[in-house]
Amino acid sequence: MKVLVLNSGSSSQKSALFEIDRRSCGEAPEPLWQAKIEWSGPAPELVVNAASGGTIRDRANIVDRRGVIEHMLETLWAGKTRVLGSASEIDVVAHRVVHGGPHLTDPIEITPAVKSTLAHAGAFAPLHSRSELEGIELVDRLLPRVPQVAVFDTGFHRTLPRRAAQYPGPYDWFEEGIRRYGFHGINHQYCAQRAARLLDLRLESLKIVSCHLGNGCSLAAIQGGESVDTTMGFTPLEGLMMGTRSGSIDPGILTYLVRETSMSGEDLDAMLNRQAGLLAISGLSADMRDIESGITKGNTRAQLAFDMFVHHLHKNIAAMASVLGGVDVLTFTAGIGENSAKVRSAACAQLSFMGVKLDADKNSRLRLEGEISSFDSKVRILVIRAQEDWAIAQASLRIIEHSRRGQGKSFFT
């Protein structure tokens, strides 16, 4: 089985091809082929790596988005990164869809009806939705016989109880779709399952606080494998301070700015999503590596940005723990969570009252993933490598295999 994953973001398009057989559940294999397009910069940059050793890194001289994605996909079956004899060897194409809106939660095979529901849900995340629908249309055209599946980043949080999902605004908001959805669900769910496996404990018995700390940052409170609260809400702007996003601020600031300045909705959106967070406070960079090196050079704004990031982080971890009524496992994942021993150490230091005790040596030496709690910590602390594309590939395969079995067929027979 060959599953192609398309993971389109507002500023980049990632893609990976996995080969899956009956035994390959659990451990994430290396993909056969991986590609990324960065849309920022003077021209889109394409980077492709094939397991066979072939690589491409160039600036595409095609300007239209579809043309660049098509060019990226062609590197699967042509040129030095070729890993397929032809496009027809692909069995399933899986798309990460950021926002499923109120009606789409579970992974689903994409039909014309699903496409139209997706188009309506686009109002909730216009930037992402445009590139997701573009990807689906392109695959329809290039690989018309290949089934496509949508896997939703909001889906894992469908189990949020109403008291956590409803905003204390007008009662009717909920029915109108203005509610807390939560994001990073594909990775939060993967981390919870991976944590149980690494610790050899039953997921059903665990209270987990999952910290996804990358360009976007969110926490999830997970009980018995289900999300019961999370820090992101209606959009991926709520909650923690992030690279360029503010996280939660007093909404009164927005009404003040609209009233007292000439800022439009679009201006506010740009300010809170792209010109806030670590970038705005440090005046240096949205990248935690630059913040940490700024601190070593005595940059006081970098120090403030770091301190604020950690403040919001441990405050919200404690909030998630209180929702769970305790915590057994704390997991760190994504770019900052996996790589910044300093962030993990500073956040955990403030959580010692909850029985969180980091092993400083394990924390600073860790490579990739593993346990970093001290032997007497009441809470097990793990670093887990994000494997979003692999989780998407597995989810899509399950749904396609299920529908094939319903028709008396299977990919694996």
Q: Which residues belong to the active site? A: 153
226-230/329-333 β-pairing: unpaired
Neighbours of 391 (CB within 10 A): 24
Q: Is 339 in the site for ligand AMP (CB under 6 A)?
A: yes
> How far is residue 98's CA from residue 11's CA, in Å, rounded to a whole number?
14
Rounded least distance, CB 25 to ligand AMP, Å: 24
Residue with smaller CB distance to ligand AMP, 20 or 288: 288
Residue with smaller CB distance to ligand AMP, 343 or 354: 343
Q: Is 243 in the site for ligand AMP (CB under 6 A)?
A: yes
How is the beta sheet containing 2-8 ordered, strand by strand?
Answer: 55-59, 45-50, 33-38, 12-19, 2-8, 92-97, 148-152, 108-109
Our CA angle for 194, 196, 198, nearest 5°, is 65
Rounded least distance, CB 290 to ligand AMP, Å: 8
Q: Is 289 in the site for ligand AMP (CB under 6 A)?
A: yes
Binding-site string for ligand AMP from residue 48 to residue 87, where x marks contact by CB under 6 A and - marks none: ----------------------------------------
Rounded least distance, CB 341 to ligand AMP, Å: 8
207-213/329-333 β-pairing: parallel
CB 75, CB 48: distance < 8 Å: yes
Tokens, residue 384: 């887990």
Q: Is 378 in the site for ligand AMP (CB under 6 A)?
A: no
Among 94, 335, 393, 400, binds ligand AMP (CB under 6 A): 335
Among 7, 148, 215, 218, binds ligand AMP (CB under 6 A): 215
Rounded least distance, CB 215 to ligand AMP, Å: 4
Residue with smaller CB distance to ligand AMP, 193 or 293: 293
Residue 411's Cβ-count burial label (10 Å; 0-12, 13-18, 19+) is middle
Residue with smaller CB distance to ligand AMP, 223 or 282: 282
Among 230, 282, 299, 340, binds ligand AMP (CB under 6 A): 340
Q: Is 288 in the site for ligand AMP (CB under 6 A)?
A: yes
Residue with smaller CB distance to ligand AMP, 179 or 184: 184
Fill in the DSSP letter of residue 358.
B
Which range of residues in 27-35, 42-50, 282-290, 311-319 is near ligand AMP by CB under 6 A?
282-290
Q: Is 182 in the site for ligand AMP (CB under 6 A)?
A: no
Q: Which residue has the tokens 């249309």?
A: 137
Q: Which residues share a beta bridge with 332?
A: 211, 383
Q: Is 336 in the site for ligand AMP (CB under 6 A)?
A: yes
Kindly tell me the number of DSSP H helices and DSSP E strands found in the chain.
14, 14
Which range of residues in 3-11, 269-277, 309-317, 335-343 is near ligand AMP by CB under 6 A?
335-343
Rounded least distance, CB 269 to ligand AMP, Å: 20
Residue 40's Cβ-count burial label (10 Å; 0-12, 13-18, 19+) is exposed
Among 74, 134, 269, 287, binds ligand AMP (CB under 6 A): 287
Collapsed DSSP state (helix, strand, coil) of residue 294 = helix
Residue with smaller CB distance to ligand AMP, 166 or 345: 345
Amino acid identity, position 199: L
Residue 184's Cβ-count burial label (10 Å; 0-12, 13-18, 19+) is buried
Tokens, residue 164: 């956590």
Of 88, 91, 32, nearest in space to 412 by CA: 91
Residue with smaller CB distance to ligand AMP, 340 or 363: 340
Task: Summarize as ranges the residues that interact with ligand AMP (CB under 6 A).
Answer: 214-215, 243, 287-289, 334-336, 339-340
